[in-house]
Amino acid sequence: MKYWERPFGQEKPKVVQGEIFIISDRCKGCSFCVEFCPNGVLVISDEFNSKGFHPPMVTDLNKCTFDGLCESICPDCAIVVVRKEVKIDKK
């Protein structure tokens, strides 16, 4: 059946999900990703990588909008953001 306008609640909401991969051995600890993330998802970790820098670490993935800003501002190509839009079935 075709409606002349979309009834409320008919459309399934899209939820953005994804993953953040950090290639820690490439990181040089410039902390751009931590400083310029609008939602404060990343923090500098206490661990060391093989070059002796502190790579970033994901704290709360639920805050992340997966806009990929950290990926584009990373000077070392060390962050990869994979974004998926998932339809959720309402019950």
Q: Where on the chain is the footprint of other proteins (CB under 8 A)?
A: 19, 21, 23, 25-26, 28-32, 35-36, 51, 53, 69, 71-78, 80, 82
Q: How far is the CB of 75 from other proteins (least distance, A)?
A: 3
State which residue, 12 or 51, has the beta carbon closest to other proteins.
51
**13-43 as b/e: b if 16+ CB within 10 A:** eeeeeeebebebebbeeeebbbeebeeebbb
Give the C-alpha separation, 45 to 55, whole Å.
Answer: 6
For residue 71, the minimal CB distance to other proteins (Å) is 8
Enumerate residues 6+ apart whose C-beta is below 8 A from 11: none
Least distance to other proteins, CB of residue 86, Å: 15
**Which one, 12 or 40, has the nearer CB to other proteins?**
40
